[in-house]
Structure 1
Amino acid sequence: MTEPARPIRVLLADDEAMVRHGVRLILRHADGIDVVAEAADGHQAVDAAAAHRPDVALVDIRMPVCDGLSAIAPLLALDPAPRVVMLSTFGDEDNVVRALGEGASGFLLKDEGPQELISAVRAAAAGDAVLSPGVTGSVIARMLRGGGSGLARSAVGDERIARLTSREREVLVMLGEGLSNHDIAERLGIGIGTVKTHVGAILDKTGSASRVQAALLAHRAGLVS
């Protein structure tokens, strides 16, 4: 008999107890997800992660003592390191670009729905990048202006898009919309493993170094409005 998969272990870090309570309630009703620890600031988050070894850390940006952005590096220095997803009521470009630059796996706005939060946790645990659609727009806007990573200065030609199959092109558009692998799989009615194969092919064929860079390509090629 096949043993059931180990639940995804989650750490919640937010200085507002009511927010932590709300997120915990949402995740409690999701199959295969356990909230194993909570923290009220960045220092507590790092200590809790070291003690409880979560797979995913949901970390608020604005916290006293040590904010979420400052906690990213020490969280990622742990062994094993959790996948860090930033939570915020703010989706401004500076916070998004800095969080991704520090190594966060994603950025999720707090006004996203319960299913989006659950999908984000599962996607992060699976190694996917997680970006709210609105946040993706901020990243793309910043990069198109040539800020931050410099990806907007890379050459983009129609021949890159021409290398893709029709299904890979569909998936590229969804990357541009900020969808996770889980969301893409549900929309197309295919397995997550198949989506990962398509994403890998897209990155290889277009010479994109990341999902965000592929999303940028989709925008610059006019595939996403």
Structure 2
Amino acid sequence: MPITVLLVDDEPLVRAGLRAILDAQPDIAVVGEAADGAAVLPLVRSLRPDVVAMDVRMPLLDGIEATRSVLRGVPAPPKILVVTTFENDEYVYDALRAGADGFLLKRAHPSEIVHAVRLVAQGESLLFPTALRAMAASRGNPRAREAMERAALTGREGEVLRLMARGLSNAEIAAELVLGTETVKSHVSAVLAKLGARDRTQAVIAAYESGFVHPG
């Protein structure tokens, strides 16, 4: 079964470009388009895409609120890939905090766009650029620090979280730590459970906001 994608952007040329790139892949199929965040939830309910590639700045309903509406309104929500022009955009960071699963620049190479959709669909990895890591660390969050302290991660879980924060996939973490992939998956699951994080993105944001991980 191909990875199904819903494109959401108020620029027709951007949607056309993304559709051409993604539909050229044998394992990816674009199943719908929307020009504004207000149309996302009804389309997600009817089309049931695996991934929503969503712009954050749109005229009626931005990508942040659209992300929240999908996560609240669908029992098994799709993965949400934030697509935008600027990597240090506050909107992008807020969308990730709201529950988006990854990040992609509109100027990315076509191969990077395809790779990002595949990674986000698998739920394995995270696209979290340096600018957003610095933004997360600079904000700080007392609640995140308290949650990290309560989590009491083991030494190995802490190592896994730091590698997650670098954007490594489970297979890459396994290679780095000389562990089996299934073992890494178990550690990732334990980290998410202890932090009360919905996914890897939320765990990484908590890691930076709490000071557990530092940019660079």
TM-score (norm 2): 0.73
1:72 aligns with 2:64: no
Counterpart Cα distance in 2 of 1:92 and 1:214: 17
Cα separation, partners in 2 of 1:192 and 1:7, compared to 1, 3 Å = farther
User: What is the aligned partner in structure 2 of residue 137 from structure 1?
Assistant: 133
Cα separation, partners in 2 of 1:37 and 1:101, compared to 1, 3 Å = same
User: What is the aligned partner in structure 2 of residue 116 from structure 1?
Assistant: 112
Could you list the per-position Cα deviations for residues 27-66 of structure 1 after superposition, in whole angstroms to 9, with x for gaps in the alignment? 1233411111111111233333233221111110111222
User: What is the aligned partner in structure 2 of residue 164 from structure 1?
Assistant: 156
TM-score (norm 1): 0.71
Counterpart Cα distance in 1 of 2:180 and 2:96: 27
Tell me, yes or no, if the aligned pair for 1:96 and 1:139 is still in contact at 8 Å.
no
1:196 aligns with 2:185: yes
User: What is the aligned partner in structure 2 of residue 20 from structure 1?
Assistant: 15
Could you list the per-position Cα deviations for residues 78-115 of structure 1 after superposition, in whole angstroms to 9, with x for gaps in the alignment? 35532222211133463244213322223333233333
Could you list the per-position Cα deviations for residues 179-215 of structure 1 after superposition, in whole angstroms to 9, with x for gaps in the alignment? 44476579899986565234335557xx444435457
1:43 aligns with 2:38: yes
Q: What residue ranges of structure 1 are gaps of 5+ in the alignment?
A: 1-5
- AA matched with 1:18: L
1:151 aligns with 2:147: no
Counterpart Cα distance in 2 of 1:60 and 1:16: 9
Cα separation, partners in 2 of 1:54 and 1:93, compared to 1, 3 Å = same
Give the C-alpha shift of residue 16 in structure 1.
1.0
Secondary structure, in 3 states, of the residue corresponding to 1:36? strand
- AA matched with 1:78: V
Tell me, yes or no, if the aligned pair for 2:87 and 2:132 is still in contact at 8 Å.
no
Number of aligned positions between the proteins: 210
Counterpart Cα distance in 2 of 1:13 and 1:109: 14
- AA matched with 1:89: T
Tell me, yes or no, if the aligned pair for 2:93 and 2:132 is still in contact at 8 Å.
no
- AA matched with 2:41: V
Counterpart Cα distance in 2 of 1:135 and 1:199: 24
Could you list the per-position Cα deviations for residues 106-135 of structure 1 after superposition, in whole angstroms to 9, with x for gaps in the alignment? 333323333332232223222346333235
- AA matched with 1:196: K
Give the C-alpha shift of residue 21 in structure 1.
1.7
Cα separation, partners in 2 of 1:113 and 1:71, compared to 1, 3 Å = same
Counterpart Cα distance in 2 of 1:183 and 1:110: 26
Q: Which moved more, 1:87-96 or 1:182-191?
A: 182-191
Cα separation, partners in 2 of 1:139 and 1:114, compared to 1, 3 Å = farther
Counterpart Cα distance in 2 of 1:21 and 1:187: 39
Counterpart Cα distance in 2 of 1:142 and 1:189: 32
Q: What residue ranges of structure 2 are gaps of 5+ in the alignment?
A: none
Tell me, yes or no, if the aligned pair for 1:123 and 1:130 is still in contact at 8 Å.
yes
